[in-house]
Structure 1
Amino acid sequence: MEKVDKPAVRWVEISAEQAGQRIDNFLLRLLKGVPKSRIYRLLRKGEVRVNRSRARPEYRLQSGDEVRIPPVRVAAPGEAAVPSSHTLQRLGEAILYEDERLLVLNKPAGMAVHGGSGVSLGVIEGLRALRPQAPFLELVHRLDRDTSGCLLIAKRRSELRTLHELLRAGRVDKRYLLLVKGDWRQGPHKISAPLRKNLLQGGERMVRVDPQGKPAQTDFGFLELYPDASLMEAELRTGRTHQIRVHAAYAGHPLAGDEKYGNLDFNRRMRGMGLKRLFLHAHFVAFHDAERDRNIQVSAPLSDDLRNLIQQFEQLPDKGRNTR
């Protein structure tokens, strides 16, 4: 019988490039294939040590820190899911912008940003397979699986830190296009309603407006009126799960194709016009990096299916249509 080597304790010294990240995020990246619940259990039990002391999940690593990594079995290379050539081609064609620090992807709808929760692999795993020589590729933020559009990927640890600081300060301009039910020319367009996550039977994640929830604000802007539908633009002032979808439904204008928070009759009508997905697209992202004196602005075009739906609406009789 072949002898299998047991994992051993490791000590990792944190470099300047690795400094600044939370210990839990560091472990999640280092211990690929280890469930998140296992990572937090290791921290809670004190099996992970920083400079020989216990560390809370929110501890931010410093350059020179020594991190004790306990014996944990990670997925062997042969056990990892391998993206298909078609997936790699899609991701390669979806790159909108790239420089030595940053990559911006037009994420396809239906593709998760990372593996987990029943998904074998996502965008970030696919990009790492597409760029095996890249020393660092990490998600800056997330998009829901059903949402398409601009997704920021850091190619350096320092870029990840910079963009996280800009996001926390509200200095990243992210805008979404969405199609909603009804005439939303009149307000309210600034929705400020706290959101709270709930788990229903079967483990389905739902988000509700709840006074006990976390503060959330979305600014909606009217673009175009169609028969019983409005094309809108949304800007996030906070970044809560399903925020745009829940706030739009709360305002009485659920998104087209939203099977979780939407309107059954409206969705049925949209399917009849060929819509097979959520109409939510991150169409624009911009930020100014003062430290490096760089301005980044990237736009993501609508996919063919969303553009075809808009073209169908534009060909309908002009009954009450109005642009801003």
Structure 2
Amino acid sequence: MSQSNQSDKKKSSVKYIIVSGEEEGQRIDNFLISRLKGVPKSHVYRIVRKGEVRVNKKRISPFYRLIAGDSVRLPPVFLAEKAKEAPPSQRTEDLLSGRILYEDDNLLIINKPSGMSVHAGSTVRVGVVEALRHMYPKLVNLELAHRLDSETSGCLILAKRKRILREVHALLREGQVTKLYWALTRGQWKKNELRVDLPLQKDYRDGGKHVVEVHHEGKSALTLFQPLQTFEDATLMEVKLFTGRTHQIRVHAAHQGHPIAGDDRYGEAEFNKLTRKRGLKRMFLHARSVDFILPSLKQRITVVAPLDPELEACIKAFETKR
């Protein structure tokens, strides 16, 4: 790395992290990649090989699996700074303002647009939460309660108060938030394919692109699929999540042989080509509804996000081709 490049970055100090129970079983390389945002994957592997990363004061391989209570030493590294945040354009503000589904003193729930990241990053100057903070400057504690993939549209919950954020997080952990998705998938499903109880593991490939796979050493993941509408070569499914793993619906659907339309990572090329011909220019995955009760307020929140016109038009195109 050149000196000029390093001057644009900030060097971290040595850190020691105690592995939590939830992190147990994770490979050290994936753990480091998630912790050292902006550090090239090649450099992560280099500092492990050179022994700069230690677990319980010992050298480890990049494939070491963490145990709860492990002490991980992170060496000083140059961290890439986030892209300089920019205020949202008027177009973005107008778009989000028109997609607010629910608001009270504690919560804000929007119908997130497809193609918009939920937060800023190294290449994203403004995400949903940054745009909303700009639009609501008095909401200093506005935070995402959960995430959606950039390509996924639909219900996104934000909390206005830290106490409410903690409460929603607890509900999510305990499976007390009912989240339903709609997805257009390839082919027609058999009854024995509708319940998918298969563990998922995240891995990082060349270029830093993370891929999630069904793997016996992964974290448990349960998804239920239910047909809503069947076409000649596709099925519109309602999907219920019982766990919230990264890319869970996309990977489980693809594993069953029914990838989601427009999915450029786990999808099937010919099916994606067919859906493009029928007007779909995005992934057909939509967070349709959320339903939960805030215990502290004894308040039930039920919100449904309408389908975007592009998704409605795609369904009509499949209906006419029957």
Q: Normalising by structure 1, what TM-score?
A: 0.74
Partner of 1:14: none
Partner of 2:109: 104
Partner of 1:8: none
Please give the per-residue CA displacement for 1:118-150, whole angstroms capped at 9, x wherever unaligned: 211210000001111222200000000000000
Please give the per-residue CA displacement for 1:291-316, whole angstroms capped at 9, x wherever unaligned: 21111000000000000011112223
Among 292, 295, 304, the alignment partner of 1:299 is 304
Partner of 2:193: 188
For 1:165, the aligned partner's letter is A
Alignment of 1:111-126 (within 5 A): 111-126=116-131
Identity of aligned residues (%): 47
For 2:279, the aligned partner's letter is G
Give the stretch that moved more between structures: 183-192 or 245-254: 183-192
Alignment of 1:84-163 (within 5 A): 84-163=89-168
Please give the per-residue CA displacement for 1:239-269, whole angstroms capped at 9, x wherever unaligned: 1100000000011100000111111111001
Distance, in Å, in 2 between the alignment partners of 1:231 and 1:38 is 36
Among 204, 223, 227, the alignment partner of 1:218 is 223
1:253 has 2:255 as partner: no
For 1:310, the aligned partner's letter is I
For 2:36, the aligned partner's letter is S
For 1:302, the aligned partner's letter is L
Distance, in Å, in 2 between the alignment partners of 1:138 and 1:217 is 27
Distance, in Å, in 2 between the alignment partners of 1:136 and 1:214 is 31
Structure 1, unmatched stretches of 5+, are 1-34, 45-57, 59-74, 318-324
Taking structure 1 as reference, are residues 219 and 38 closer, same or farther at Cα in structure 2, changes over 3 Å only?
closer
Per the TM alignment, residue 117 of structure 1 is displaced from its structure 2 partner at its CA by 3.8
Give yes or no for contact 2:278–2:318 (8 Å, CA) kept in 1.
no
Distance, in Å, in 2 between the alignment partners of 1:250 and 1:293 is 39
Please give the per-residue CA displacement for 1:35-59, whole angstroms capped at 9, x wherever unaligned: 96389xxxx9xxxxxxxxxxxxx9x
1:262 has 2:267 as partner: yes
Partner of 2:41: none
1:236 has 2:241 as partner: yes
Distance, in Å, in 1 between the alignment partners of 2:173 and 2:139 is 27
For 2:159, the aligned partner's letter is A
Partner of 2:295: 290
Give yes or no for contact 2:133–2:140 (8 Å, CA) kept in 1.
no
Q: Secondary structure at the match of 1:187?
A: helix
Per the TM alignment, residue 282 of structure 1 is displaced from its structure 2 partner at its CA by 0.3
1:169 has 2:174 as partner: yes
Distance, in Å, in 2 between the alignment partners of 1:120 and 1:234 is 32
Counting matched residue pairs gives 257
Give yes or no for contact 2:201–2:218 (8 Å, CA) kept in 1.
yes
Distance, in Å, in 1 between the alignment partners of 2:294 and 2:134 is 29
For 1:187, the aligned partner's letter is N
For 1:265, the aligned partner's letter is E
Please give the per-residue CA displacement for 1:132-172, whole angstroms capped at 9, x wherever unaligned: 12222000000000000000000011110110111111000
Distance, in Å, in 1 between the alignment partners of 2:252 and 2:160 is 33
Provide the alpha-carbon RMSD of the alignment.
2.9
Alignment of 1:189-204 (within 5 A): 189-204=194-209
Taking structure 1 as reference, are residues 305 and 158 closer, same or farther at Cα in structure 2, changes over 3 Å only?
same
For 1:300, the aligned partner's letter is A
Give yes or no for contact 1:185–1:222 (8 Å, CA) kept in 2.
no
Per the TM alignment, residue 185 of structure 1 is displaced from its structure 2 partner at its CA by 4.6
Please give the per-residue CA displacement for 1:18-39, whole angstroms capped at 9, x wherever unaligned: xxxxxxxxxxxxxxxxx96389
